[in-house]
Structure 1
Amino acid sequence: MLDVGKILGFQEEYWKIVWKYPGLQRVRAFLWLAFKQRLLTNSERARRGISHCSSCTICGHDLEDLAHVFRDCPPAKDVFQDCGLIWSCRFRLVTWRIWKNRNLFIFQHISWTASEVVKVSSCWGRHYDSHVGDHINNKQGSNLTVNSDDTWVYLSTNWVVAKDSGYATTRGVARDWDGNWIVGFNRFLGVCSPFEAEFWGILDGILILFNKGYRRIIIMTDNLEVAQILIDMDLEDSRITVLQRTHHILQSKGEWRIKHIQEIRIW
């Protein structure tokens, strides 16, 4: 039987490794499924009788098992060659992100570069090192001046993606410092991933506020990954169009802050 512990570089009993992990609960769940041989690789799907093909969808290798997905497949090799992270702190996050991005590519045709995978994994790790859920206000636009806080406006967005069709819509609302309504908006996006829908909502909201003359914006999001990407904002080489456009706007216009909250209710 395949020894997942050896594949992932762990020597302790898997239940100790999983529940000692201090990060995200979803990563613990992912690790548990991996150690229990429950991740639906093509070989596992074929074993269960829900697929007739056990080969790798990405590279065509004859057998897509866990060893192939996390060690031998070219995208995984590229990630680990690019990975300069401390293994004990970040390896689990990187492995989880490889699995998520593999599914994004197979089911939604969205592809991230190896450096983007490592960068996002590192962002998640750094954030949890400094306590999850704290408000993130530590980076602002490069031309920030000392003004009173009541000149800032809040932008909150939300999105919905239909499970069957993949069609997405995004909506948002902007309020002033005192909570008074400024503007609301919504937009049909067509087929779109939840990750992209989140960024389209933010981009639309920023452009609407800029057109109304507002230049100091606090972007509120309940998506930790989106918050970290916006904070680092090193996305010039990203192949995802909406990330490139958001990066360009935030680097060239106005002043901005990112605030991570637990849940957004915009209506």
Structure 2
Amino acid sequence: MVMACSVPPTNKGFLWLAYKGKLLTNDERVSWHMASDSRCEFCGEVETVSHVLCGCLEALAIWVRLVKRDELDEFLRMELQQWFVLNLSDASNFSNEVTDWDTRFAIICWCLWGRRIRDFFTSSLWK
């Protein structure tokens, strides 16, 4: 499912890590004693993979425009692995008439994560 998606290999590697919940979010960093705060810098919720890609206000602003209104609640409340499987396997589940939903979904997730990483490394912590 992840490897069948029509995106570059770099994106596939990211998708696999995200699917497995292995991205280095603040919550994960705290569990590895690399940070002391597991909260999201944007909204204050615990920063997990699901939060970064789906639940954060930053991600919600994108998904509410692309996901069918009557499916949005289900889209936002699924377990992480089910969320990936459904979105990468069948565009009719959530897409607002987008034929390349799997690719678009994958790229949006990758961009959301990329922005989070960019913001982390450009924060005052690293200056």
TM-score bucket (shorter structure): 0.5 to 0.7
Higher helix proportion (structure 1 or 2): 2
Structure 2 match to 1:106: 120
Which runs of structure 2 are paired with 1:120-159 in the superposition (5 Å)?
Answer: none
Cα deviation code 1:64-111 (max 9, x no counterpart): 1112111111100011123367223311111111110122223226xx
- Say if 2:86 is the partner of 1:72: no
Q: Could you tell me whether the CA contact under 8 Å between 1:58 and 1:106 is conserved in 2?
A: no
- Say if 2:40 is the partner of 1:56: yes
Structure 2 match to 1:11: none
- Say if 2:18 is the partner of 1:34: yes
Q: Could you tell me whether the CA contact under 8 Å between 2:6 and 2:103 is conserved in 1?
A: no
Equivalent-residue separation in structure 1 for 2:24 and 2:33 (angstroms): 12
Q: Could you tell me whether the CA contact under 8 Å between 1:43 and 1:65 is conserved in 2?
A: yes
Moved beyond 6 Å, runs of 4+: none
- What percent of counterpart residues are identical? 31
| 5+ long unaligned stretches in structure 2 | 67-95
Q: Could you tell me whether the CA contact under 8 Å between 1:85 and 1:91 is conserved in 2?
A: no
Structure 2 match to 1:21: 5
2:108 paired residue among 77, 82, 94: 94
Equivalent-residue separation in structure 2 for 1:51 and 1:44 (angstroms): 9
Quote the RMSD (CA, aligned, Å): 2.1
Q: Could you tell me whether the CA contact under 8 Å between 2:7 and 2:106 is conserved in 1?
A: no
Aligned length: 94
Normalising by structure 2, what TM-score?
A: 0.65
Greater relative contact order structure (CA < 8 Å, 6+ sep): 2
Normalising by structure 1, what TM-score?
A: 0.32
